[in-house]
Structure 1
């Protein structure tokens, strides 16, 4: 099976562009709906941070360090690097007796407009805490300290990453198809789109025992703190707010998006073939409408899918549409 037509762009009444991709909706029994090829192998990128955070809780490290929902949400986050994010990561590291230099994620300018402006106007350089993955890495450091393991926690053979790989393979139900290095220097394990959706379904309908408790805590933390998972103006934050606790969603680089719908026991995974974030955000919004979690008229759906495209002068120039047959 090839990639399916998911999202189209129209201008002047003519079809201009198409985003192709793969989408799978699973429950704990298997595939419920799919578009494209469920067996397509992808890197989940940051969409799987809740999987990477499982050993943090299951090992007892989170409880030993006294982590609460805010820290767990940040462990799942690709945040904007605003003070709401960096201040919390700074305190987290300080409580561990660690410093910014202990991180291995690298530094980049934050997406948060206020913090971006502050750094520029003060001629200051960003630090690793500004990295959108600093919460995930603070979680890795917490687990590393609990394990009494070495400092290079992003190495593929480090106990932290061995624990992450085990959890990843267990919840996806697949042996990792390979691995690559993510933007934050941590390993990212490959799986099929179906495997990623299966993993999200396990978060949506967690079982008993340590694994289920960890999954439940992570989903609850994301839903309780959408502003920490991404930030103002971001699709993850805005979609979760609009759904008022009915679902958690998380993006990843190269146009991956996942969804967790606890009330329905559904997990969603999608990958836009061209790597375009615009297509992924439109597709996840369409799926939330398809599942009855949002209405077409909701402002957040209008922003990412159904509203008009306007130019710099405010003129309406086009629109995005669901491709025929997607979703439903």
Structure 2
């Protein structure tokens, strides 16, 4: 049984009121573990943190170039966006260009997290569409691959050629067979792996070399697209977007549901994977910020750092009564 360790503390006054446990590791370009906290062999669903892996067939198959996809499309294929107009307009145009409509999605509708988009739907008594789903960019990527390969309409079926390509890519870059999968929140299959497997995959992405082969080239293009368009990867005030903007050198960041987070640091040739075992987003955000500081790509005093790491906790009168902070072991 895997044994998680403390990663994020929630202080109120002079004592730790809550403590978030988890697993985290940093891997190098060879997939070797440089540092580890918790159990590297813990079995996990990486959830949306695996989107850049699932997007590899979009480029490798030739679909991206065949349909003239830009870096914006590639960033959206890796995104968990918040349904702002900057996201939904682009995804809607993307599927329209493929000859599809919203009903062709298989991700399901979701109320947008973006406040302006949310308020607009409420004011007009509107209902969310599937394009508002935070995974609609990933699904547009699947639809593009399906159209290119001549696959059927049910592109999330595990036996669909688009998903078979994703499964193959997932096992190859994690360097281990996946024991299975389950439907993600958007209904697409999400493969199981270990913490070590995801760290190995992120280290590989960080060291990919354009032109070495089709997979390396695909990895470089996806990472560069995420770095070029941090707003499209998540959205304003989201940890992925804010921390990518705050880093002192290019870094691609991707969150996943239930407390997962990964980072790809190409200049350092380092990959990071972490999982908070209670699924806490606040703890995942704090821990990833601390690990970015640890590898030297983020200033701990940057305003965006302070939003997630060593962030003040305020009560309803805006009085500071505590703090969210990483455990000392992450920074010492």
With the shorter chain as reference, the TM-score category is over 0.9
Q: Could you tell me how far apart the structure 2 residues matched to 1:15 and 1:102 are?
A: 49
Instruction: Map 1:180-191 to 2 at 5 A.
Output: 180-191=182-193
Q: Deviations over 1:81-109 (max 9, x none)?
A: 01100000111011111111111000010
Residue 322 of structure 2 corresponds to 318
Q: Could you tell me how far apart the structure 2 residues matched to 1:74 and 1:244 are?
A: 23
2:3 corresponds to 1:2: yes
- Does the Cα contact within 8 Å between 2:80 and 2:134 map onto a contact in 1? yes
TM-score normalised per structure 1: 0.98
2:13 corresponds to 1:12: yes
Instruction: Map 1:289-328 to 2 at 5 A.
Output: 289-328=293-332
Q: Could you tell me how far apart the structure 1 residues matched to 2:35 and 2:175 are?
A: 18
Residue 258 of structure 1 corresponds to 262
- Does the Cα contact within 8 Å between 1:223 and 1:248 map onto a contact in 2? yes
Q: Aligned with 1:197: secondary structure?
A: helix
Residue 162 of structure 1 corresponds to 164
Q: Could you tell me how far apart the structure 2 residues matched to 1:154 and 1:311 are?
A: 44
- Aligned with 1:213 (options 217, 225, 229): 217
For structure 1, the 5+ residue unaligned runs are none
Instruction: Tell me: CA distance 1:86–1:245, structure 2 relative to 1, closer, same or farther (3 Å).
Output: farther
Q: Could you tell me how far apart the structure 2 residues matched to 1:51 and 1:243 are?
A: 23
2:175 corresponds to 1:173: yes
Residue 100 of structure 1 corresponds to 102
- Does the Cα contact within 8 Å between 1:42 and 1:192 map onto a contact in 2? yes
Q: Could you tell me how far apart the structure 1 residues matched to 2:198 and 2:311 are?
A: 30
Residue 29 of structure 2 corresponds to 28
Give the CA RMSD over aligned residues.
1.0
Q: Could you tell me how far apart the structure 2 residues matched to 1:12 and 1:238 are?
A: 28
Q: Aligned with 1:18: secondary structure?
A: strand
- Aligned with 2:228 (options 206, 219, 224): 224
Q: Aligned with 1:63: secondary structure?
A: helix
- Does the Cα contact within 8 Å between 1:22 and 1:38 map onto a contact in 2? yes
Q: Could you tell me how far apart the structure 1 residues matched to 2:72 and 2:159 are?
A: 29
Q: Aligned with 2:301: secondary structure?
A: coil
Instruction: Map 1:196-211 to 2 at 5 A.
Output: 196-207=198-209, 208-211=212-215
Q: Could you tell me how far apart the structure 1 residues matched to 2:88 and 2:326 are?
A: 37
Q: Could you tell me how far apart the structure 1 residues matched to 2:13 and 2:141 are?
A: 49
**Shift of the alpha carbon at 1:283?**
0.1
Q: Could you tell me how far apart the structure 1 residues matched to 2:148 and 2:311 are?
A: 48
Q: Could you tell me how far apart the structure 1 residues matched to 2:294 and 2:232 are?
A: 26
- Aligned with 2:252 (options 248, 253, 257): 248
Instruction: Tell me: CA distance 1:275–1:265, structure 2 relative to 1, closer, same or farther (3 Å).
Output: same
- Does the Cα contact within 8 Å between 2:248 and 2:297 map onto a contact in 1? no
**Shift of the alpha carbon at 1:34?**
0.3
Bigger mean CA deviation after superposition, 19-28 or 317-326:
317-326
**Shift of the alpha carbon at 1:327?**
3.9
Q: Could you tell me how far apart the structure 2 residues matched to 1:65 and 1:82 are?
A: 24
For structure 2, the 5+ residue unaligned runs are none
Instruction: Map 1:61-72 to 2 at 5 A.
Output: 61-72=63-74
Q: Could you tell me how far apart the structure 1 residues matched to 2:29 and 2:248 are?
A: 24
TM-score normalised per structure 2: 0.97
- Does the Cα contact within 8 Å between 1:223 and 1:245 map onto a contact in 2? no
Residue 121 of structure 1 corresponds to 123
Residue 112 of structure 2 corresponds to 110
Q: Deviations over 1:166-220 (max 9, x none)?
A: 0000000010121010000000000001100110111100141101100000000
- Does the Cα contact within 8 Å between 2:247 and 2:299 map onto a contact in 1? no
- Aligned with 2:48 (options 46, 49, 55): 46
Q: Could you tell me how far apart the structure 1 residues matched to 2:129 and 2:9 are?
A: 39
